[in-house]
Amino acid sequence: MPERDSLEVDVLFVGGGPASLAGAIRLAGLAKAAGRALSIMVIEKGGEIGNHGFSGAVVDPKSLLELFPGEDITGGLDAPVSGDEMWFLTGSGKIKAPFTPPILNNHGKYVASLNRLTKWLGAKAEAAGADVFPAFPGQELLWDGDRVIGVRVGDKGIAADGSHKANYEPGPDLMAKVVVLGEGPRGTLAKTAVARLGLDRDREPQVYAVGIKELWQMPAGRLAAGHVIHTLGAPLTFDTFGGGWIYGMTGDIIDIGLVTGLDYADPTTDPHNLFQQMKLLPAIRPLLEGGKMIKYGAKAIPEGGLHAMPRFYADGLCLIGDTAGFLNGLRLKGIHLAIKSGMLAAEAIFEALAQDRSDAAALAPYEQKFRDSWAFTELHAARNFHAGFASGLFGGMLNAALGTLTGGRGFGLHDKLSGEDGYARMRKRDAFAPQMAGRRVTPDNVLTFDKVTDVFNSGTMHDENQPAHLHVADTTICAERCTVEFGNPCQYFCPAAVYEPLFVQNGDRVDGRLQINFANCVHCKTCDIMDPYQIITWVPPQGGEGPVYTGM
Ligand code: SF4
C-alpha cells in the first residue's frame, strides 16, 4: 500500500482564491527584496486554480494596485464600470433611484470574473516563486497541542464503502511553520480551528447569505460592458435580507444574480427558486429574452461584518479572506478586502519568521496592521450594516443611511448592534405558516431552470464511487424531528438538489431516508450554515472535483 508522504514548507496557504494568492505573491516579494529564501505553497481543492472562483463581481482595484505597484492590473479584470443604476423591483415594474448612493458608486471600479481574476493571480503567484497545487484539498489540520503544524491533504481513490480503489493515493502531510487558511466562506479547517481555539469568543456570530448566479450570452448590444445595476425588493419579501445584480460583461454576456440572506424565517425559502422568480419580473425579463443561459453557480457570502470577524491569528495559524469575514456587505464587495487581508497576513508572517517565530504573539501584528489600514476604516464604517436588517428591508435601509451619516453607528446610535446565528431565526411550522412554497415558479427551460439543469451548467463533477462529502451526524433527527418541525428545509435551501428527504409517515413511525445526491454539490456551503439543527458538515471531496466556474 502506498505510504503517506510528508513535506515541509515555510508557509502553506490553503485555498487558491484571491486572498491566498495575493498573500503568496506579497510574501514572495518581501522574501526576494530581503534576499531570504522562503518556501511558499498554495493548495486548492478545485481541479485548476479559479475553478471554484465565484463572485458578482464589481472589483475595487485599490488592493491590486498596492500588490502590483506601477503595473498594469487590468489583465485580471473585465471592463471598467461604465454606468451605475439602483432599481427597486416590484411585481409590476421598477422604481429607478434618481442617483446611486455614494457608498455604492462604482466609478473607477471594474466588472470582473473571479474565475479569470484568480487564474491571473495564480500565474502571478507561480511567477513570484510560490508552488501552486490544484486538486489538493485540505482535509484536516495537524496539531501539536493547540499549535497548528500542518495540513493533511485528502486521499484519492477511496470507494464509497471505504475500501481502497486501484488508484488509491494517500494525501501528503504538508508541515508548515505557518498555515494560512483562505478557504472561502465557512472554511472546513477554519471551522474546526475557530471552535477548538475559541477564536470567535466575544464576537458576534458570523451570518451569511447565498449568492445564486447565471451568465447569459445575449444578442449584441443588450447591455453595455461595464454597466452595473443593483436591485432591491422583489422577489424577496421585506423580511428577507438580500438583493440582486445585473452586470454587463464583455462579449455581450449578462451576469445576473440574487443574494438571499441565510437568516430567513420561512423554512420553505428556496434561494434558487427566488432567483428564477427574479428573472420573470417585468423589469428583468426583457433584458434576458432572446439570450441563452450558459453558466450557473452558487456560493455563500459572509455578511456579518467587523463585529463577526474571529480572531484571525493563533499559534502557527492565520485566517484570511472570506474565511475571516473580510467582506463589506454595505458596498457589496469583498475581493479587494480579501486581497488586502492576504497581503497584511503575509507582512506579519514575514516579520515573525524573520525572528524565527510563528507563535500567536509573533503573528498578532497581523491584527494591528489591519487596524492601521484602510480595510479596517472601511469595515468599521459598515460594521452595523447587516445587523440593521433584523427589522426588515426598510429598517435595514434606514440603518444603512444612518450609518453613513454617523460613521457606522446603528439604530439608537449604538456602536455595536447584536445579532444571532442565521439558522436560529428559522421558524418552526407550528408557529409560522410557510409562504414561500406557494410562490414557487415552475421552470420553463427558456428563462427559468430547475436545479439539476443549472447544476449541469455549473460544470460540476464528482466521482460517485467515494464517500459522500456531506456528513449528516444523525439522520433520525431529519426523520423524526425535522420533518415535523421544519419540513426538511435542506430540500429548499440547497441550490443543487442534493438533499431529497424520502420520508413516509407510517402510523406513529417515520420510514424512509434522506437521500444525498452529493455528486450535484456546487460547494456553496449553504447546508453547513443553514441547517437548523447544525448537524450537516461539509468536507472536501477528493481533489479536483466540484464545479468548474469558467468565466464566473
Ligand atoms: Fe451547497 Fe450543501 Fe447543496 Fe453542496 S449540498 S450545493 S454545499 S447546500
In ligand 1, which atom is closest to the CA atom of 516?
Answer: 5
The mean pLDDT of 97-108, rounded to a whole number, is: 86
Residue 440 resides in a domain:
no
* Cell numbers describing residue 332: 457589496
Q: Binning pLDDT at 50, 70 and 90, where does residue 413 land?
A: low
Residues 265 and 367 occupy one common structural domain = no
Residue 151 lies in domain: 8-71+116-156+172-202+306-381
Residues 85 and 50 occupy one common structural domain = no
Which of 494, 536, 537 maximizes ligand 1 atoms within 8 Å of its Cβ, making it the mutation to test the pocket? 494
Distances from the Cα of 390 to the Cα of 104, 185, 263, 383, angstroms: 21, 21, 9, 14
Average pLDDT along the chain:
94
**Ligand 1 center–CA 498 separation, angstroms:** 7
In ligand 1, which atom is closest to the CA atom of 497?
Answer: 3
Name residues contacting ligand 1 (CB within 6 A): 470, 494-496, 498, 521-527, 538
Query: How are beta strands 156-158 and 164-169 bridged, if at all?
Result: antiparallel
Q: What is the CATH number of the domain that holds 259?
A: 3.30.9.90
Residues 404 and 270 occupy one common structural domain = no
Please say which residue of 300, 333, 355 terminates a domain: 300
Q: pLDDT for 251-278, tens place per residue?
A: 999 999 999 999 999 999 999 999 999 9
pLDDT at 433: 76
Residue 40 has pLDDT above 90, yes or no: yes
Which of 492, 521, 530, 539 maximizes ligand 1 atoms within 8 Å of its Cβ, making it the mutation to test the pocket? 521
Whose Cα sits closest to atom 2 in ligand 1?
527
* Cell numbers describing residue 191: 471551522
Residues 216 and 293 occupy one common structural domain = yes
Residues 46 and 178 occupy one common structural domain = yes
pLDDT at 495: 98
Q: What is the CATH number of the domain that holds 190?
A: 3.50.50.60
Whose Cα sits closest to atom 8 in ligand 1?
494
For residues 58 and 35, give the distance between their C-alpha atoms in angstroms, rounded to a whole number. 37
Which of 523, 529, 530, 534 maximizes ligand 1 atoms within 8 Å of its Cβ, making it the mutation to test the pocket? 523
Angle at Cα 54 formed by Cα 48 and Cα 60, nearest 5°? 115
Task: Please state the domain count of the chain.
Answer: 3
**Ligand 1 center–CA 251 separation, angstroms:** 30
pLDDT at 402: 66
* Cell numbers describing residue 312: 484571525
Chain centroid, CA 80 distance in Å: 24
In ligand 1, which atom is closest to the CA atom of 518?
Answer: 5
Q: Binning pLDDT at 50, 70 and 90, where does residue 435 land?
A: confident
Residues 228 and 322 occupy one common structural domain = no
Query: Which residues face 546 on adjacent strands?
Result: 461
Query: How are beta strands 317-319 and 173-181 bridged, if at all?
Result: parallel
Whose Cα sits closest to atom 4 in ligand 1?
521
| Cβ-contact 316, 179 below 8 angstroms | yes
Q: Where are the beta strands (DSSP E) in 398-534?
A: 470-472, 499-506, 509-516
For 406-445, give the DSSP string. Answer: TTT--GGG-S------GGGGPPPGGG----GGGGPPPP-S
Residues 296 and 312 occupy one common structural domain = no
Q: Binning pLDDT at 50, 70 and 90, where does residue 415 land?
A: low
Q: Binning pLDDT at 50, 70 and 90, where does residue 410 land?
A: low
Residues 287 and 251 occupy one common structural domain = yes
Residue 279 resides in a domain:
yes
Q: pLDDT for 366-375, tens place per residue?
A: 999 999 999 9
For residues 106 and 88, give the distance between their C-alpha atoms in angstroms, rounded to a whole number. 18
User: Among 214-218, 395-399, 486-490, 541-545, which is the least confidently predicted range?
Assistant: 395-399
The sign of the dihedral angle between the CA atoms of 171, 139, 147, 36 is positive
Which of 470, 515, 529 maximizes ligand 1 atoms within 8 Å of its Cβ, making it the mutation to test the pocket? 470
